[in-house]
Amino acid sequence: MEGIAENIQAVTERIRNACSRVNRDPSSIKLVAVTKGIGMEAIREAYNAGLRVFGENYMQEAKSKIQGLPGDIKWHFIGHLQRNKAKAVVGSFEVIHSINSLRLAEEVAIRAREKNVVQKVFLQVNIAEESAKSGCGKNDALQILDSMSRMEGLELQGLMCIPPLSDDAGASRPYFKELREIRDRAAEMLKRPIDALGLSMGMSADFEVAIEEGATAIRVGNAIFGPRN
């Protein structure tokens, strides 16, 4: 786990360079450090290097980290969320990136109202229509977003996707572009400014391409903490 601070510096530089290529402000990109399988000591090291936003995939794993690490950390839930786990996740995380259906959105809204919180959420779109991936269908996204925008207890943040795994970062570009186009149509439909809806897209292998295509949140694990065992 050596070199976390240096890795963060390198990722930050890559963010800056990607932003400069498309004339974007680096401060408009939220870096979510993915800590699935990462111990408290390494997360503390990243915290001490200045990171404050961390993403977890499982409530069970996140619980002890949330309790044991500094209270000013913003925790984001980025893993697959089952409806029966919604109650535990709502309110424990600032943002849920992985709302994948209208039924899950409704469940999260119910739990948020029960806890008297407003839960920030992204709608996950299965952008490549892969059978093994979670997310709503591309053709359903606008209708679901419309419903979510009216749900008491939810604060709609935008759209999320995970493109197909590839050794070529450029292979992700058409999927990121397509998600951005869906977002643009959603903003028009909801009568919101485009920058009021974000795009959670891009991971260690392709976040620079994601930034070039409009990402506002990138989920980076290996480039910060090194490969997981």
Alpha carbon distance 17, 99 (integer Å): 31
Q: Is residue 137 left, alpha or beta, with left meaning phi > 0 and alpha meaning psi from -120 to 50?
A: beta
CB-count exposure of residue 150 (10 Å: 0-12, 13-18, 19+): exposed
Tens digits of residue pLDDT in 24-58? 999 999 999 999 999 999 999 999 999 999 999 99
Closest CA to 124 of 101, 107, 94: 101
Paired strand residues for 77: 56, 96
Query: For position 2, what pLDDT does the model report?
Result: 54
Q: Is the pLDDT of residue 136 over 90?
A: yes
Tens digits of residue pLDDT in 90-111? 999 999 999 999 999 999 999 9
How much is the pTM? Answer: 0.97
Query: For position 227, what pLDDT does the model report?
Result: 87
Query: For position 70, what pLDDT does the model report?
Result: 98
Tens digits of residue pLDDT in 169-188? 999 999 999 999 999 999 99
Q: Is the pLDDT of residue 1 over 80?
A: no
Tens digits of residue pLDDT in 54-98? 999 999 999 999 999 999 999 999 999 999 999 999 999 999 999
How far are the Cα atoms of 28, 31, 47 from residue 121, in angstroms, in the given order? 18, 16, 24
Q: How many residues does the chain have?
A: 229
Query: For position 139, what pLDDT does the model report?
Result: 96
Query: For position 228, what pLDDT does the model report?
Result: 78
What six digits make up the tokens of 98?
A: 């992985």
